[in-house]
Amino acid sequence: MNARPAHLDNLHQKLDAALGQSGLLQEILLLRLTNEVINRFATSESEWQTARELDYRHWRQELRPLLDNLQFMISSADAYAPDSSALESDISRLGAQLRDIEQRLSELSARKSALQTELDARNADSSHLRDEVEWLERLKSLVPFRDALARRLDIQHLRARTNAELLHEQDRQRERGEALVHEIDTRLDAFDALLRENLTLSKQEWEAVRHAVDASVSR
């Protein structure tokens, strides 16, 4: 068995490394690898015209597995990318919780101010008021939870936008690769047609050959 060229081995090593990852990192590595291969063989028109048939076959051999893997990655993206509808539902639910917490904090702050004023004005039962203030202070622990929700909302928005942009770029690169493979197929068909044309003798050429053979035998 012939050894693979060094650059082809390098591509397979990068592909194995990418497939060893998961989630967004795997997507990014595979996308970069596919783009690297497409850019390597996206040559000018003059280079296409002077290329050998073997070059086209080698190029397709290297492009096809990457395009197949990219198509599989796109079709199975739901396995490691969050569902957009579920993501929107989570964002909406967390937003509602955040608004509810902020409303409660606002109401509690107003209540605390009113109680403090009442304490100063009426000199109410200090024990009862201390309990009330302590309860209000405990409710202030909702503030870190509110901040955590806000950070989570930012992350969810970022993931939703990143996934959409990445899948769009994957589709664009797949279409670009498919177009390149189609161009290679067209060139191969042209090479085959030219080869058949050069190997096919005309009827007159066959007659001339036959007469030459007959004349040689007669002598």
Which residue has 């047609």 as its token pair? 193
The region, left, alpha or beta by phi > 0 then psi within -120 to 50, assigned to residue 135 is: alpha
> What is the model's pLDDT at position 174?
78
The one-character DSSP state at 80 is: T
pLDDT at 71: 61
CA neighbor of 146 nearest in space, from 182, 179, 105, 115: 105
Domain ranges of the chain: 7-81, 82-171
pTM: 0.26
Instruction: Give the total residue count for the chain.
Output: 219
Given this model, what pLDDT does residue 1 score?
Answer: 45
Q: pLDDT tens string for the chain (219 positions)? A: 445 556 566 666 777 776 677 666 766 777 777 766 666 665 544 555 555 555 556 666 666 666 666 666 555 554 555 555 665 676 677 677 767 767 877 787 788 787 777 767 776 566 666 676 676 676 676 667 666 766 776 677 666 676 777 777 777 877 887 777 777 778 777 766 666 665 555 566 667 766 776 666 555
Helix axes 23-41, 6-19, angle to 10 degrees: 160
Tokens standing for 65?
Answer: 């597995």
Residues 6+ apart with CB under 8 A from 4: 12
What token pair was written down for 201? 């003798």
- Residue 40 is predicted with a pLDDT of 63
